[in-house]
Structure 1
Amino acid sequence: MPSPDWHAPAVHERIEALVTLPGSKSLTNRFLVLAALANGTSRLRRPLRSRDTLLMAEALRSLGAGIDDGTTDSAGADWIVTPASLRGGGTVDCGLAGTVMRFLPPVAALCDGPVVFDGDEQARVRPMGPVLDALRILGATIDDGGRGTLPFTVHGAGSVPGGEVAIDASASSQFVSALLLAGPRYEQGVTVRHVGPPVPSEPHIEMTVETLRDAGAIVDDGEPDTWRVEPSEINALDVQVEPDLSNAAPFLAAALVTGGQVTVPGWPQHTTQAGDAIRDILDAMGADVSLTREGLTVTGTGDVSGVDVDLHDASELTPVVAAIAALADSPTVIRGVAHIRGHETDRLAALSRELGALGSDVHETDDGLHIRPRPLTGGTFHTYSDHRMVMAAAVLGLRVPGVVVENVGTVAKTLPTFVELWDGMLGGSGHPARTADAASA
């Protein structure tokens, strides 16, 4: 059910805040999958609690894993994952989570019976064909009525032969990651060869490879567009989840567009998160950016410049970058993101429509957006059940009074405490914004 609309607050003074963010959705869900397939009990420290990660945890419980998320103690508690024999007979609710609908069918193929997958209405148009077809080649039986989308049934047989498969992953890097995560448990392991246009968001595959190696899997990624996972046990994990760097983007953008300063503590010195690209983007758009052991600090200089940027590897940043671009003093070209037409919504069409409705001159290109800044006015900003659209609208609202964000609750997909954190940042005047853990305790 849609949530109430939200009047995005405008500010007329310099923001100065410390914003502590919860863990990465991408890492939390990868760690959950590996922990459910591991040879012992795992501990995930500072995981993200959001709709996507809670859907993943519940789905893995339905497949047999024990997951204690500590909700009776504290929202900041560790998650304890105890693997068990994988069982069929249940239904997986994917919601709108691409990681659930794509990462879990290869796991379900290892179950001892059928597993039904379905999700939100918008999820039923997201492409699934490449990963389902690949699983058939590797030995799994799947009934999707020939649609290549939700709903479908994976008929688990207790084991999967595995082997080599060629797929076109140009629509989503998640197709590759899905096969690799379950690959160590397949009898012959898995070799995935990508054939087609360049894979988008390739850092997410690097993240998958790194998490597999953290769990003791042997992964060979030395050949371009080819990944080989050897059959092996998956070791139990004891890991701390990095802050979600993509979720940090709107808060850091606030510093740029208001001429203020925002620090996100715990920013990793080395990471496979694609959201780390926001550092260079904000620098190019006029901010001073400093990474220290304490965290990442972005300081606005009073200038917001347009850019020509390829976001192929960090496409989840597109909505926030587009919002900044609409507030800049020169045009922006965003390239390399044709694939986000198949995300939670058609993000290119949505951004063009909503920015245009506020007064910006926005044109879709074959693979992105061309944004020419114009004076903006307030109005309703439709979000299309897309969490990133909420974040983009919040950035715009800082400088454009009267922006009303439709269905703000959809941001719970990756950051349920977004509004609390946003209000805390704006009320800061040098005082820290509440952490996500404190806001949801």
Structure 2
Amino acid sequence: MPIYETVLHRNPGESEFHQAVHEVFQSLGAVADRHPELVDTGVIERLCEPERQIIFRVPWVDDSGKVQINRAFRVEYNSALGPYKGGLRFHPTVYLGIVKFLGFEQIFKNALTGMPIGGGKGGSDFDPKGKSDNEIMRFCQSFMTEMYRHLGEHTDVPAGDIGVGGREVGYMFGQYKRITNRYEAGVLTGKGLDYGGSMVRTEATGFGLVYFVREMLASRGLDLRGKTVSVSGSGNVAIHAALKAQELGATVVAASDSQGYVYDSAGLDIDLLTEIKFQRGERISVYADERTTATYHAAGNVWTLPVDIALPCATQNELDEESAKNLVSNGLVAVAEGANMPCTPGAIKVFNEAGILFGPGKAANAGGVATSALEMQQNASRDSWSFKRTDAKLDEIMTGIHEACARAAADFGSPGDYVTGANIAGFQRVARAMVAQGVV
């Protein structure tokens, strides 16, 4: 695979990026055989190289008056389908390889939505945890003081990701407006509802994940009613996935954080979990202290529990081959990725060999970016949609993503393989646009 060897050589030490590229390449052989013109025009090579990579320092002053320095990134990966679109992640683990991996995945995820958005990603090794609101504001303002020159509603439209929520987006939007003297609402998504944000944006990734699972199950004549579900994580995506799963008749029995997991045989009390995590900012262990049907397992692996459906919603490579084997032996029916690449290649192989329904992140968790694109639509038309209308549109988009993945997988000889289907469907849309636009 000479193109892949070139990727390894040109991007040393970026293991997450290598993993993402390799997974896509494994799906594209049949496409290259059927459409050699895509190979001849260098589309695959061009997809492996971002259009632009921005690295800059972010100086800011902490509450004690000391100057702090962080490093920040924005990878504007591919604009064949529209302006670059993808979140900003503030976390100590952020480095260029992580941002490139996320940006590469974003190309295909955004293409699958059918919306006119390209792929990009960004972030910083800044850690918001333990920082005051004023420190976070000063960091966000400094970050945007450099970043603003690369953004625009027709150029690059970031959103939130890990460590970046409504507070951080608000601070960045305020600084963008201050510097540019423009109220350009469409330059950032994930904004507050009072100044251009969209209904359902908070719930979108979790809700969309469950809509995708519903469609996968329906392909085998099944539904969510009566199914048991475990989720990893207890943040925004995990909690809203749990909420929607229970609305559709499932029982969500477990959730986790970095310290361990809780198991609730009666089904998670989503209101209590939301209060503990979002309003009180406490560890998930507190849930078991306040819920008699729940137990807490310190440093435990949530994937040891017997469930019908597993929803990894925390971070990359969290569900490994051993955990996959545990889930399969315990009667697993389906798994869908609520985070970016949370299942290792070994885990995915186990699921495939066992005939488990598997929804890859670039398809299953596309609800967040889809609703960000809906926010862009509303901003462009100076409009604001109801929760019901936006949720119905999200449902329609996720159903369409499932159909596109299933159709592409079947068309290329891999029926039921959603990884292959997602990679091929996303690739074909982007590749056709790139060929039409010439060598750029």
Q: What's the TM-score bracket when you normalise by the shorter of the two chains?
A: under 0.3
Higher helix share: 2
Larger RCO: 1 or 2 (CA < 8 Å, sep 6+): 1
Scaled by the length of structure 2, what TM-score is found?
0.28
